Structures are given as structure tokens and as C-alpha cells.
Structure 1
Amino acid sequence: MVNYRTLEAAVLQCRLLGIDIPVPPPLFPPLPPLTHPTPPIEDEEDDDENINSGD
């Protein structure tokens, strides 16, 4: 199965190139825009490394 975001990006790219692809309305509510980056997740392992380096 194709990822919904991948399909959406492909359709938008085709529209930018002048190719209109008819797309039925989505069954699910739209996802947030792809332009919002996810905040970095701090790993607990990094904290452990900092503690070990102090020894």
C-alpha cells in the first residue's frame, strides 16, 4: 500500500508540471502540511554517555 503522504506529494508534483490527476476526496481528514518539521527527540542514551564520560 502506498503511503498517503507519498501519494499526495506525487499528485502535487504532477500538478506543478501541468498534469492534472483527478483525485477523489480523502476518506480520512487531511494530514498536517509536510512543511512542519518534527521536533528533535532527545535520546536517553545521550544522557547516559554524558554521565559515563565524567567518570
Structure 2
Amino acid sequence: MIRDFFFLKMFKNELLIKYTEFVYGIYRNVHKMYTKRILSVYIFLIGTSLYQKYQ
């Protein structure tokens, strides 16, 4: 009984660790992608506004 409980607890911890690694990995990759995309859009908008202002 105690051994089963310990095993379940270990299994849950293992699942939690795997889940957080999975989510964090996805988050990190997506985050990189989105920051690049947002930065490029932002730079494009700034460039167009400056271009229109000084034309």
C-alpha cells in the first residue's frame, strides 16, 4: 500500500516534470518565433510611418 502510494507519487512527479518540460520547450520556441515576428512588424510599421512623415 505504502509502496504503491510512493510509486504513484513518483509517477505523478515524473509526469509533471515531463509536462512542464514539454510546455516550456514549446513556449520557448513559440516565444522566439513570435518575438521575431512582432519585432519585424513593429520595425515595418515604424519604417512606414517615418517614410510617410518625411516624404
- What's the TM-score, normalizing by structure 1? 0.29
Bigger proportion of residues as helix: 2
The structure with higher relative contact order (CA 8 Å, sep 6+) is: 1
